[in-house]
């Protein structure tokens, strides 16, 4: 990728960020609150707050479903990592890690 292409992509990204910021500001002016992105911790892309967003009577089920999702994701990742180690390749693990 050339320097010119990188600059073009960066300019497009900055324009998109500007549009999103304007849309968020317009929503806030209309009284619609946008919750702070807090998940995943390493690179927040979405808001995640089971205790604050889920009614108390449903929290247990939601937490259990969330934990099942984490366990299954960990299992898949571990399984792929084990297969990659046996084959001597880590390409599958890297691709899976980027998808999560």
| Alpha-carbon distances of 12 from 2, 16, 17, 31, 37, rounded to whole Å | 16, 6, 9, 29, 22
> Are 6 and 29 contained in the same domain?
yes
Are 23 and 57 within one domain? no
pLDDT by residue (tens digit) across 31-80? 888 888 898 888 898 999 999 999 999 999 999 999 999 999 888 878 77
Rounded Cα distance between 95 and 91, Å, is 6
Does 16 fall in a domain?
Answer: yes
Domain that holds residue 7: 1-34
In a domain, 42, yes or no: no
- The residue among 71 and 85 whose pLDDT is bigger is 71
Structural domain contains residue 90: yes
**Does a structural domain hold residue 70?**
yes
Please check whether residues 30 and 61 belong to one and the same domain.
no
Distance (Å, rounded) from C-alpha 63 to C-alpha 70?
10
One domain, residues 29 and 68: no
Q: What is the distance between the alpha carbons of residues 90 and 96, in angstroms, rounded to a whole number?
A: 10
């Amino acid at each position: 990728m050339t320097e010119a292409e990188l600059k073009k992509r960066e300019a497009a990204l900055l324009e998109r960020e500007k549009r999103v910021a304007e849309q968020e500001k317009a929503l806030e002016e209309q009284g619609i609150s946008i919750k702070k992105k807090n998940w995943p911790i390493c690179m927040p892309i979405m808001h995640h707050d089971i205790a604050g967003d889920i009614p108390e009577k449903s929290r247990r089920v939601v937490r259990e479903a969330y934990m099942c999702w984490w366990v299954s994701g960990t299992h898949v990742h571990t399984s792929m990592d084990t297969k990659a180690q046996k084959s001597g390749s880590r390409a599958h693990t890297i691709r899976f890690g980027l998808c999560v």
